[in-house]
Structure 1
Amino acid sequence: MLDTPVSRFPVPDLADMPEDIRSRIEAVQEKSGFVPNVFLTLAHRPDEFRAFFAYHDALMDKPSGLTKAEREMIVVATSNANQCQYCVVAHGAILRIRAKDPLIADQVAVNYRKADITDRQKAMLDFAMKVSARAYEVGDADVEALQAHGFSEEDIWDIGAVSAFFGMSNRLANLTNMRPNPEFYAMAR
């Protein structure tokens, strides 16, 4: 593997990070066995790190009508559309784990319309992709289509919010040239 920097911007040493950020990174490292590069890259700007992960956690970890795997599907599909290598690889690994399916992330990333997912999930991803690329076109018909698949108003907000948040995340990852950790590639295969 090439010795490519984690980011094109400075990455602080763990010892030099504020205590709350260092503690969070150490907890992630203890759980996963490595430090995902997103944590190191965003630690460059501590206030933004805190805000980013607060919103990330509010979207991705809360109880919802969407499963955690479905939220990861949104991330993988929209991140592929945004050409975000980091998020496709990292969240693809998380999707494989959450869905307990070694094939799903590749299918969703390449072409979710042909993936082995439900029609409901395809409708969810159609909407997420529209929010990601053409949010200005979202209208009542889009909401009604999701409601016909059993999504509640809160679920629809969640689909849109995950898509929008990761649109920002994808742009930051591309701006910083954030590199996926090698560990992600083999996870749950």
Structure 2
Amino acid sequence: MSDLPISRYPVPELADLPEDVRSRILAVQEKAGFVPNVFLALAHRPEEFRAFFAYHDALMEKDVGLSKAEREMIVVATSGANQCLYCVVAHGAILRIRAKNPRVADQLATNYRKAEISPRQQAMLDFAVKLSLDSATVGDADIAILKAHGFDDEAIWDIGAITAFFAMSNRLANLISLRPNDEFYLMGRLPKS
């Protein structure tokens, strides 16, 4: 385990947090077996913690229009483009598990255009990365490509909202120098025995 700090900002003690924030963190710890560092780092500001995870869950915990694995694909590809180590490593682990594919996260973070994904997923990521890096140039032609691949207006909104949310998250993680948990690096790489 690394001795490096989780964040360049103070990380509060669980006992010092408001009950709802502490309960959320403990629930995640029970489910995952560890506390992802993002929860501890963002608890530095409880109001923002609540808002962040409410919007995160609204975007990432549904399975309509996009699968949960496709939602994670967007996070990993755009976080790679934004050079966010924390989100690439953490969401790469989640993606490997949700996609049941130990290779896909590394491929998407490095060069999604060479990844083992469907043409539909390629179009989704072309749009997401363009929106992440050059949003002012997104236009009707980009939307038409997504619709030709079977995405409806609500799925396109989700692609855009996930991209925008994680653009903010990537920048915040880079600002605070958020360190990925060591546990993330091995998750989903080998089948469970």
TM-score interval, normalised by the smaller of the two chains:
over 0.9
* 2:2/2:182 contact within 8 Å kept: no
Identity across aligned pairs (percent)?
A: 74
Unaligned residue ranges in structure 2 (runs of 5+): none
Q: What's 1:12 paired with? A: 12
Equivalent residue for 1:165?
A: 165
Cα offset for 1:21? 0.4
Matches within 5 A, 1:44-59: 44-59=44-59
The separation in 2 between residues aligned to 1:72 and 1:63, in whole angstroms, is 12
| Counterpart amino acid of residue 62 in structure 1 | K
| Consecutive unaligned residues in structure 1, runs of 5 or more | none
Task: Provide the rounded CA distance (Å) in 1 between the counterparts of 2:63 and 2:70.
Answer: 12
Q: Equivalent residue of 1:3, what SS?
A: coil
Instruction: Write the letter of the residue equivalent to 2:47.
Output: D
Taking the aligned partners of 2:65 and 2:125, their CA distance within structure 1 comes to 15
CA RMSD of aligned residues (A): 0.7
**Aligned twin of 2:70:** 70
Secondary structure of 2:10's counterpart equals coil
Report if aligned partners of 2:37, 2:181 keep a CA contact under 8 Å in 1. yes
In the other structure, the counterpart of 1:89 is 89
Deviation sequence 1:139-179 (CA, Å, 0-9, x none): 10000000000000000000010000000000000000000
Deviations 1:37-91 (A, max 9, x none): 0000000000000000000000001232100000000000000111100000000
> Which 4+ stretches in 1 moved above 4 angstroms?
none
SS of equivalent to 1:95 = helix
Separation in structure 2 between the aligned mates of residue 58 and residue 117 of structure 1, nearest angstrom: 25
Offset at 1:2? Answer: 4.3
Residue type at the aligned position of 2:182: P
Relative to the length of structure 2, the TM-score reads: 0.97
Partner of 1:100: 100
Distance 1:136 1:54 in 2: 27
CA offset at residue 3 of structure 1?
1.4
Instruction: Give the structure 2 partner of residue 42 of structure 1.
Output: 42
